[in-house]
Amino acid sequence: MKHALHIDDAEVELCAIRAQGPGGQNVNKVSSAIQLRFDVAGSSLPEDVKQRWLQSGDSRLTLEGVFILKAQKHRTQEANRVDAWARLYETLDLYAKPPKPRKATIPTYGSVQRRLESKAMQSKVKSGRRNDAMD
Architecture of the structural domain at 9-96: 2-Layer Sandwich (3.30)
Phi, psi (degrees; rounded to nearest 5) at 60: -85, 0
Domain range list for the chain: 9-96
Residues 97, 50: contact at Cβ < 8 Å? no
Is pLDDT above 70 for 2? no
Neighbours of 92 (CB within 10 A): 21
pLDDT band (50, 70, 90) for residue 76 = confident
Neighbours of 38 (CB within 10 A): 24
Which amino acid belongs to residue 113?
Answer: Q
Average confidence (pLDDT) over 116-132: 91
**Which of 7, 108, 121 minimizes the C-alpha distance to 53?**
7
Q: Distance between alpha carbon 103 and the CA centroid of its chain, in Å?
A: 24
Q: pLDDT by residue (tens digit) across 30-71?
A: 778 889 999 888 888 888 888 988 888 888 888 888 999 999
